[in-house]
Amino acid sequence: MSEEEKKTAAKKKLWLYLIPLFLFFAMTLLLFSGLGKDPTKLESQLIGKPVPEFEKLRLLDPSLSITQNELQGPALINVFASWCPSCYTEHPYLMKLAQSGEVRIYGLNYRDKRDAALNFVNKLGNPYDLIVHDDKGRVGIELGVYGAPETFVIDGSNQIVYRYVGVVTEEVWQKILKPKMLHDQPSAAKHTSAQEVTEAGEGK
């Protein structure tokens, strides 16, 4: 073996020895990228889809029913319940947000007893335009809700744009939810009613 051959052979060996190191770095990158993610925050499967069909009673006036057609985006749908501690935490901010007139908020009263839910809104105030009384949690399942509080952003054509899991604060509204709503305003102008959207959706 000449000197030159020996050198190339040594180089080849060096590359071979470096392979595990590269594999290690690749694995590290892969695992590190998942490190900051909160596994309890799942991405909604309904993004880009219209608000699912439902028919429920209104919480405040149980003599009237409510369907998806009564909801008019752009708006927020806030999933809440009187049994949910975090809902008490976010409630004052929802009041403030509703009073500011920046956005319409609909309530989905999730797996709750009517008395307890009425007590919640009567005592603490009602930030919601309409409240769906989802006593059995079926509307929640249609929306892929797995806890409360959750907040959905719907655009002007009643399509679901985003789902936020957790307490809505000033920061969450300003940095996450509001940009999602602004982003979808051009498409909101195209459609005027929820009926059109379902027709367009079926056309696809």
Does residue 6 bind other proteins (CB under 8 A)?
Answer: no
Contact call for residues 157 and 196 (beta carbons, < 8 A)? yes
Interface with other proteins, residue 58, by CB under 8 A: no
Q: Report in angstroms how near the CB of residue 111 gets to other proteins at its nearest.
A: 6
Per CB under 8 A, does 8 bind other proteins? no
Q: Which of residues 64-93 bind other proteins (CB under 8 A)?
A: none
CB 162, CB 88: distance < 8 Å = no
| Residue list 91-120, contact with other proteins (CB under 8 A) | 111
The β-bridge partners of 57 are 65, 133
Q: Is the peptide bond before 52 cis (omega within 30 degrees of 0)?
A: no
**Options 8, 28, 45, 185; binder of other proteins; rule CB under 8 A:** 45
Nearer Cβ to other proteins, position 28 or 45? 45
Q: Which stretch binds other proteins (CB under 8 A): 34-42, 88-96, 149-157, 179-187?
A: 34-42
User: Is 46 an interacting residue with respect to other proteins (CB under 8 A)?
Assistant: yes
Does 43 bind other proteins (CB under 8 A)? Our answer is yes
Site for other proteins in 154-183 (CB under 8 A): none
Is residue 135 within the footprint of other proteins (CB under 8 A)? no
Q: Smallest gap, in angstroms, from Cβ of residue 42 to other proteins?
A: 6
Residue 82 and residue 112 in contact, taking contact as beta carbons nearer than 8 Å:
yes
Which tokens belong to 144?
Answer: 């892929």
Per CB under 8 A, the list member of 142, 187, 188, 198 interacting with other proteins is 142
Are the C-beta atoms of 57 and 66 separated by less than 8 Å? yes
* Number of shown-chain residues binding other proteins (CB under 8 A): 18
Q: Looking at 2-10, 96-104, 131-139, 182-190, which segment touches other proteins (CB under 8 A)?
A: 131-139
Answer yes or no whether residue 147 interacts with other proteins by CB under 8 A.
Answer: yes
C-alpha separations of 54 from 63, 83, 91 in Å: 16, 23, 25
Q: By the criterion CB under 8 A, which residues form the site for other proteins?
A: 30, 39-40, 42-43, 45-46, 111, 136-138, 140-144, 146-147
